[in-house]
Homo-oligomer: A and B are copies of this chain.
Amino acid sequence: MTRYFSEADSVETVNARVAPDADPRLAQVMSSLVRHLHAFVKDVTLTEAEWGIAIDFLTHTGQICSDTRQEFILLSDVLGVSMLVDAVNNRKPAGSTPSTVFGPFHVDGVPEREMGSNISLDGVGEACLFEGQVVDMDGHPIKDAIVDVWSDNADGFYDVQQPDIQPQHNNRGIFRTGADGRYWFTGIKPVSYPIPDDGPVGQMLCHLGRHPFRPAHMHFLVSAPGYHRLITHTFVAGDSYLESDAVFGVKAPLIVDFEALDTTQDGPRWRAAYDFVLPPST
């Protein structure tokens, strides 16, 4: 066992310090983290000045966090780490609906609404009928599935970002399927928006020549007893940012054609039909 630190044995020296009775999973995770962090420093021969910039960046990222802002989740998102953690934890059978990042804008405690309700409480935006079916891997309807949905408003902000402007629970709703597994409700056709880019993560994106936009999407959290819980979005086909989502959330099967409806009559202007296929929970 190496006693003193050296460049060659840096990983072994640090990891040898973990006590034999430490939690085995913690020891595994931290040993791997040290191995990859040291490999990074060695690969790029990180300078002392760059190390200092990294310390300042991480400090600033922590200090800008608040009850309504989580800059470290944003950092994880734009580095593709959030999508990767989602991927390695949700390897699902072919034919099931793909998952994507949860994002920071879900809210607990939204009231369950009657199927068919309008969740656009401020009435601003282009009304859109969202409908489809929650089914199992054999295509059979799933009864009592909970369909929890949320989106931004017509200006690209979630209600929690504008508590003084938007009604509480604007563009949010929870619905429960009947025996036919069907869901339907009216919302708005979502719009693309930038992730908060006035902090260190936004500065980093700027230096990398990356834009902060997400393509327009509706969030869905679909769950039912006995089935794998699904966290996903549907994306508006044709959006300019589909291939450059700042947080890498887009997957091809989640892109939905929003169908223009006859606007000479009352009712929604768009229709977005999408079925969710849930594998059994393991």
Contacts and interface: CB of A to CB of B under 8 A. Distances in A.
A89 B6 CA distance: 13
A210 B16 CA distance: 10
A217 to B, nearest CB: 14
B85 A34 contact: no
Interface in A104-148: none
Contact of A46 (B45, B85, B252): B85
Nearest to A34: B79
A242 to B, nearest CB: 8
B62 A58 contact: yes
A4 B7 CA distance: 38
Interface stretch (A22-30, A150-158, A184-192): A22-30
A259 interface: no
A55 B72 contact: yes
A22 B85 contact: no
Contact of A208 (B19, B45, B62, B88): B19
B29 A84 contact: no
Contacts of A82: 51
Interface stretch (A36-44, A165-173, A270-278): A36-44
Given A5-B251, A21-B209, A10 B83 contact: yes
Contacts of A4: 243, 248, 250-252
Contact of A63 (B5, B43, B63): B63
Contacts of A26: 207-208
B210 A79 contact: no
A172 to B, nearest CB: 22
A261 interface: no
Nearest to A19: B209
Contact of A209 (B18, B36, B48): B18
Contacts of A38: 80-81, 84
B59 A10 contact: no
Given A13-B248, A36-B40, 4 more contacts: A4-B250, A17-B210, A37-B81, A59-B72
Interface of A: 3-7, 10-11, 13-14, 17-23, 26-30, 32-34, 36-48, 50-51, 55, 58-63, 65, 70, 72-73, 76, 79-89, 91, 207-210, 243-244, 248-252
